[in-house]
Structure 1
Amino acid sequence: MTKVFKKRLCRVCGKKGIKFASDGCLICGATWVSDTVWDIALRKNQTENNVLKKNSEFITYQNYKLRDKYNKKKGQRKNTKNSGINLVPDSIFGISIYVLLILFCIWIFSDFGGECGVDYAPRFFGEC
């Protein structure tokens, strides 16, 4: 005889998606919200209609793929594109620019060692 597990109500999405507390919600990917955390959220007015508010500090996700899938369905996925400067080159062109920049710095900041008797190499590569 096999046991049939009832799914419990998720306190993040409001649907019956939690089979085991350790697995989290199978629908939205949120972790199980324990009774202690639920009581704290109630006292801090972080709930509405037996579900945590969307901006609640108590919502954590265990499975990010399910979270993204759930948010995509709901149309709540935010654009998280970084608009900063990326210092790591992504292509051959970027790497070649880095190499040219390093060679240019060696050429500009080097001290050609005429006083050492070596006229063909800069002292940047070594002292006399």
Structure 2
Amino acid sequence: MLVAGVGRAPHTPPMRSGKRVVFLSLDDGSGPVSNVVFFHDAQAAIGAPVFHTHYALIRGRTRRTGARGVPVTGEGLRDLLDVAKTVRARQAREREEARVVSEAESADNVIQMWTRRA
């Protein structure tokens, strides 16, 4: 499952085991959406962005814990602004490729018209 939202207050309380666990609350502007927990083994995949980004795209597994609670066990995290830049760049490349193909098809059509007349 993917969850996107505004990340608020990541915190890492001390754990008895000594392993680090990161808790993050997600908000979509209308209120809290979900609480996300990143266990020690997932932290290599998320890196420092969990503490520096305000807009997050999170991959993880949901758990149903009650009538209103939908916590997420996080497996990955990307800065949502970086994702948006990547998508815009890909769309611009695709538009340029489509334009080049369209121009090539137009040139082929003109050549075929001239060969038919000759």
For Structure 1 versus Structure 2, the TM-score category normalised by the shorter chain is under 0.3
Larger fraction in helix: 2
Higher RCO (CA 8 Å, separation ≥ 6 residues): 2
TM-score normalised by L of structure 1: 0.24
Larger Cα-atom Rg: 1
Question: Could you say which structure has the higher strand fraction?
Answer: 2
